[in-house]
Chains A and B, each alone.
Chain A
């Protein structure tokens, strides 16, 4: 049981990082960057290729992260901003980011071929024993990094002027830009952060999954599902969704069958979306949310 919980949290931390990468972008720009999974794949492929060619592991990772960060910004510049300028309220960005996802995956498949290649080990696969359960250092690292990223984001958001302006833009971009906030700069920053978070998640899963071009699709979809479970509005909720999904997936693998984690996340997300369309952690805790939802249902019945 504890074992399931611990491995689940470790797996979920990575899902949560990908979900946070989605959520940070959405928080500032109200755009879901569907190419987030492919950014994760970029950092993995770049790191693996560079370390294969003899680069020191740390440098390879740094370059990989830099690449996914830059790619996030490039996606904004090429595929999102022009489309938003055309019509702010339609979903053209949805199609264009999905298009970017397909292009990136095909490019990687064309360049690297569909087979997996090795990825440098980050930490020794030694285990730590904790009250009968064991965790690898690698897993502890994932949990630590995810929590650290969230803490960093929240600190910047709440304690700095930069973060407060970001919150203003998130709440009302037109008003914020009317009082002088540079919304474009924040959008660039958000896409960059999203790319960085996805890249970090990639480096964390690389040693387990090895590097292959289709990882982007897999982790992109799982991260997106985690995002839907937790709630799209806040990065913290997204990370929470990732942890919930991780624990449930590992639980399903343990108690239902070894292939159960292929389909179990979808069952979870459907149940969550049916009963809490905005996600489990959408505003405040679950209970608060429930109380609000009763009010909201009341309101929508009135408005119908």
Chain B
């Protein structure tokens, strides 16, 4: 991290972000907002009971909407279970309080209890698909309300009177209603947690789980566990809302039926899904509507429903989305810097300059030699500790590769894989990749190259055979754990988060490098160390992007605005940013222009100088034989030849099955 920090000072001002002179006022601004919030709470706490009940209900729904937006907006999980979770919080508090539990003990109890229910519900319902999740959570809400209406001790359809919230002691009675303060503070706590997550490096990761799950998994994110965890957090917040709701009076099953879940989604979408303020505005709007427009309650539902359908059809980005579009159009906020104009500009001349600058310097500093010396040494230290399989493969490696046995970064032995449909895609393949080399993997379409790469990076597990990386057997390890072993990969077609800038996408590649991102996310901006890490990540991502030769002006542009080649290079930058010891590239040149191919070649050479082992699948044989020291040829899932590029090239069988000469 210190190395990262060193680059911060020099690089950031020149990066895509312009220096922000107002940056130092940010903490002051937030403090002012919090003070204003507390003053508003004070005013509400001393207002009439009617105003209090309206505002407190709205605030509780705001907590629910904000917690729902965390799963629905950021993580893409449309939960219809929030009404049920809300009900569990409220009924749990009421019933346990009747059994003598103190209400302040019940706050953590409902947070943890409902959070655990959410984790179980999430684990069960995230097995199949997003739609299945929505359906399961919908059924969960139905089940909860049916149980509440039919059970004896929940008071049936009539419901139960909620517990009383204790008043302030006389000394503090000037503060007004204690319940108003309580709700105000838990709403504030919810906002702190959710907004912290939104400004932490976890946020791009969540968006990646939503839009580009393989990309997130390849960066080392445990995507399934993360989804369950985020849903658990959201459920805990809903439980807390239920806890507070129970103090407002009678609770009955009708207040928690499935239409409440729909209403919460309506609030989120109406206000603006996946925005900070959207859920708050939506909750305020939906709660204020019946107060402001007092008509027949059925007619109210009709009008509100009509407004909602109009909004979702005409303005799917909600109120916040419309306002920010208008603001942008009016010029208050600038669009991504000159991105639209530059799509027509050929980027080749611009991008080759920095690479040319860099090349002589790195050539002369003798980096390759020192890297080569360092890597085998560290491997030798590990060798005695590795298990039997490891040493035996070392031995065979020596006979195979014709080099120093411990020089192998990756050893695959006897790998077979059959798809469930019956196709045997990889059949007893051995692959040895020497450390620090660029290793080409070629073969006709359908020869099993991509399957082999998926086996190496953990997207698939082999039926038989072993995979050893830097002396560790990894073939049974999950995909998310492999970046920690130093394996990063790219995909044939880059799928990145469209709504984030290139730099933010690259920071996702750093996920396994920076510790405790998920653990610290809930309080991220409040932790100085975390803020430092985030600055480090940003500058590191910017320099990784720079390393691929991309012009700086692309760094700040949204992925959605980028041409295919730039997106592909961004993906490469994300993989490089994770500082892998083995980088696996699946057809990195697909769809690239000639100048972009040259950029990729430069990146590969540079990675090799830095001692990174690269495995590259590619169909452009000229590129492969020019760049790679070793080449492996596959055909119909079997190994045809493997060895130094020149040998493989002159191999008769290779010429026959692949080169067509």
Chain B residues with Cβ below 8 Å from A273 are: 136, 139
Q: How far is the CB of B5 from chain A (nearest CB, A)?
A: 37
Residue on A nearest B263 in the bound complex, by CB: A102
The answer to the question of A301 belonging to the interface, with a C-beta cut-off of 8 Å to chain B, is yes
Given contacts A95-B269, A301-B461, contact A228 B312 (CB under 8 A): no
A263 close to B302 (CB less than 8 A): no
Nearest CB in chain A to that of B310: its residue = A78
Name the distance in Å between A55's Cβ and chain B's nearest Cβ.
26
Q: Which stretch of B28-36, B122-130, B465-473, B482-490 is in the interface?
A: B122-130
Q: Are B78 and A106 in contact (CB under 8 A)?
A: no
Q: Mark B441-483, 1 if CB is under 8 A from A, else 0.
A: 0000000000000000001110000000000000000110000
Q: Is B262's CB under 8 angstroms from A98's CB?
A: yes
Within 8 A of A (CB), among B131-180: 131-132, 134-136, 139, 142-143, 146-147, 149-150
CB distance from B401 to the nearest CB of A (A): 29
A257 nearest CB across to chain B (Å):
10
C-alpha gap A100/B309 in the complex (Å) = 8
Instruction: Report A-chain residues with C-beta under 8 Å of the C-beta of B265.
Output: 95, 98
**How far in angstroms is the closest Cβ of chain A from B68?**
11
Report chain A residues within 8 Å CB of B25.
none
In the complex, chain B residues whose CB is within 8 Å of the CB of A225: 139
Separation of A301 and B300 alpha carbons in the complex (Å): 50
- Which among B134, B299, B302, B419 is the interface contact of A94 at CB below 8 angstroms? B134
Q: Counting CB contacts under 8 A, is A91 at the interface? A: yes
The answer to whether the Cβ of B308 comes within 8 Å of any Cβ in the partner chain is yes
- Residue pair A262, B313 in contact (C-beta under 8 Å): no
Contact A96 B313 (CB under 8 A): yes
Closest to B301 in A: A106
Q: Which residue of chain B has its CB nearest to the CB of A89?
A: B130
Q: Is the CB of B262 within 8 A of A99?
A: yes
**Nearest CB of chain B from residue A18's CB, rounded to whole Å:** 15
Asked if A274 is at the interface of the complex by the 8 Å CB criterion, the answer is yes
Q: Considering the chains assembled together, what is the distance between the CA atoms of A274 and B147 in angstroms?
A: 19
| Residues of A with C-beta under 8 A to B262 | 95, 98-99, 102
Q: Bits for B72-111, please: 1 = Cβ < 8 Å to A, else 0.
A: 0000101010000000000000000000000000000000
Nearest chain A CB to B515 CB, angstrom units: 24
Q: How far is the CB of A19 from chain B (nearest CB, A)?
A: 13
Any chain B CB within 8 A of the CB of A278? yes
Interface code A261-304, partner B: CB below 8 Å = 1, 0 otherwise?
01100100110011001100000000000000001101101111
Contact among B127, B147, B302 with A277 in the assembled complex (CB-CB below 8 Å): B127
- Name the residue on A nearest B77 (C-beta): A91
Interface pick from A46-54, A80-88, A197-205, A243-251: A80-88
A side interface size, CB within 8 A? 43
> What's the nearest-Cβ distance from chain A to residue B263, in Å?
8
Tell me, yes or no, whether B306 is within 8 Å of chain A by CB.
Answer: yes
- Asked if A170 is at the interface (CB within 8 A of a chain B CB), the reply is no
With contacts A103-B302, A106-B298, A266-B146 known, is A278 near B135, CB below 8 A?
no
Could you tell me if B136 and A109 are in contact, using CB atoms closer than 8 angstroms?
Answer: no
Contacts of A109 in B (CB 8 A): 298
Docked CA distance A263–B147 (Å): 7
Check if A91 sits within 8 Å of B142, measured CB to CB: no
Q: Are A221 and B301 in contact (CB under 8 A)?
A: no
With known contacts A78-B309, A95-B312, A273-B136, A103–B143 Cβ distance under 8 A: no
Inter-chain contact A102/B301, CB cutoff 8 Å: yes
Contact B313 A91 (CB under 8 A): no
Judged by a CB distance under 8 angstroms, whether B316 is at the interface is yes
Query: Are A298 and B420 interface neighbours, CB within 8 A?
Result: yes
CA–CA, A79 and B309, complex, Å: 7
- B259 touching A102, Cβ below 8 Å: yes
- Which residues in B have their C-beta under 8 angstroms from that of A83? 312-313, 316
In the complex, A109 Cα to B461 Cα: how many Å? Answer: 57
Interface 1/0 per residue, A218-259 and B, CB below 8 Å: 000100010010000000000000000000000000000001
Name A103's closest neighbour in chain B (CB-CB): B305
- A99 & B420 in contact (Cβ 8 Å cutoff): no
Q: Are B313 and A228 in contact (CB under 8 A)?
A: no
Which residue of the partner chain, among A106, A277, A296, contacts B420 with CB atoms under 8 Å?
A296
Residues of B within 8 A of A92 (CB): 269, 312, 316
Q: Which of B263-281 contact A (CB under 8 A)?
A: 265-266, 269
Of A32, A266, A277, the residue contacting B143 (CB under 8 A) is A266
Q: How far is the CA of A103 from the CA of B266 in the complex (A)?
A: 13
8 nearest A-B residue pairs (beta carbon)? A103-B305, A110-B298, A106-B301, A299-B420, A82-B313, A98-B262, A91-B78, A106-B298
Chain A interface residues toward B at CB < 8 A = 32, 78-79, 82-83, 86-87, 90-92, 94-96, 98-100, 102-103, 106-107, 109-110, 221, 225, 228, 259, 262-263, 266, 269-270, 273-274, 277-278, 295-296, 298-299, 301-304
Spell out B's residues near A (CB within 8 Å).
76, 78, 80, 124, 127-128, 130-132, 134-136, 139, 142-143, 146-147, 149-150, 224, 259, 262, 265-266, 269, 296, 298-302, 305-306, 308-309, 312-314, 316, 417, 419-420, 459-461, 478-479
